[in-house]
Structure 1
């Protein structure tokens, strides 16, 4: 089994998108949107299952992560969706599927919404929803303050506030730690944390995420702002996987998507939390996407 390839391409607007091209090179193409904050490196976790399933897995780094050019304008879901469509065109793909995990879920949804003609299947694995609408008003007050600035048209203020949160709150806590302690803090209660292969991939991802702030700023503003994609435009069969013990991205998010996307199926997994749903079902997710494609 090959290890997959790191690559990048320049989009028509001059920006660069980095991606990991793994799985089966001759398989049906599936674009993967990793969680937030995270990069294309997470595609390496999906690579073995994709190779077995006959899937060409293309995992993207969104704007501002790694070598993907940052967006200085208003961050939106549709920007990331159009980037996938442009990348698919550059790769010569006439059809493809998209899947997103956790914070990457809405970006996968955006890809299906902006390119309904070519997207043949959509998967959301424990994906985030419009949390300002669905979560309690008391949650994430600092992020809500940044997003309120964005609502008022103060893009510079919103970006500065979110950048401060990323750099001086979230990243600062990790930078105070070294080696395994930093990685353990990053992984939290992830059930796969003891696995050496998993740890190595996650350590690479963590290092890249900590190199800058713009990717996390993009994600934070795009995910929290008013969503700019029409879910009713999605034509692809859509599969939604959520755990009924997930407190990060609860089943309510899955129901929200299912109520708005035609031809959507919600799968509720008993007794599983957020990380378990994201890490334990890759073979069945890929198999279901291929079946839906047909």
Structure 2
């Protein structure tokens, strides 16, 4: 059974943006930003809930992932926000919602800030925040070193350092494995790791992520670098879901957003970690977004 249609469009700067058009074709349109590193393929996991909710779910591969053209200049959150705005225009959408999970959260936020007149609801599900500001200063020293070069204006050096991390640290262990062993390593302690449908979708996403490095490099520099998003520009009702047992994207990130985005509601889910928040609440997330839209 199909979980959506693969498609791509060329945005005004000439780049191609690849997306998965799923859910209910006649439903209200919601753009989905997957976590990092990941691709539009993750939209297949949301497809059943989108069909049930009456949502047309448009899941987007960010620059450098799959068939989405990489960005040559400095990676920023707002660049992806503008891509979503351009896609909405090319698809003829007068209004839409945006939602992002984990590392995709800030990119969904960027879209809401870039198009406050058309974005009718914003959702962030266990979304990343400005981690260099909020996390323990000793966390991720190698990544911080790359980002320090970016702060100094050394884009080439920052890219080279982040690419080395992606190739030789994040991806290297996975490349040494095959088949189920590689997928098991990718999924880690994911509670859904034993589900056949889930595994198949995640295997497709993993293969695409491992085909190159530019998507993960883009994400790493955009998420860790100076944020260029005006949260005060967001007009849409905003719903934030975080688990109080999440040590990847902790509740402090949700509070940070809630303090800066007008009309934001923070939902703290007891006893749930990062993966549980992202995987267990899709129907209620989409239903709540539609309710906020009205």
Q: Which bin holds the TM-score, normalised by the shorter protein?
A: over 0.9
Where do residues 141-290 of structure 1 align in structure 2 (5 Å cutoff)?
141-290=141-290
Match of 1:96 in 2: 96
Cα separation, 2, equivalents of 1:204 and 1:213:
16
For residue 228 of structure 1, report the CA deviation from its aligned partner: 0.2
For residue 94 of structure 1, report the CA deviation from its aligned partner: 0.6
SS across alignment from 1:58: strand
Cα separation, 2, equivalents of 1:70 and 1:105:
20
For residue 3 of structure 1, report the CA deviation from its aligned partner: 2.6
For residue 2 of structure 1, report the CA deviation from its aligned partner: 4.4
Match of 1:25 in 2: 25
Match of 1:16 in 2: 16
Structure-2-length-normalised TM-score: 0.99
Deviation readout 1:111-170 (Å, 9 max, x if unpaired): 000110100000000000000000011000000000000000000000000000001111
SS across alignment from 2:245: coil
Match of 2:70 in 1: 70
For residue 72 of structure 1, report the CA deviation from its aligned partner: 1.1
Flag as ranges the 4+ runs of structure 1 deviating above 6 A. none
Structure 1 gap ranges (5+): none
SS across alignment from 1:100: strand
SS across alignment from 2:171: helix
For residue 264 of structure 1, report the CA deviation from its aligned partner: 0.1
Cα separation, 1, equivalents of 2:188 and 2:293:
35
Where do residues 42-121 of structure 1 align in structure 2 (5 Å cutoff)?
42-121=42-121
Cα separation, 1, equivalents of 2:222 and 2:11:
20
Cα separation, 2, equivalents of 1:65 and 1:11:
16
Structure 2 gap ranges (5+): none
Cα separation, 2, equivalents of 1:103 and 1:128:
5
Cα separation, 2, equivalents of 1:250 and 1:2:
34
For residue 110 of structure 1, report the CA deviation from its aligned partner: 0.3
For residue 4 of structure 1, report the CA deviation from its aligned partner: 1.1
Match of 2:134 in 1: 134
Cα separation, 1, equivalents of 2:224 and 2:250:
16
SS across alignment from 1:202: helix
Cα separation, 2, equivalents of 1:245 and 1:222:
26
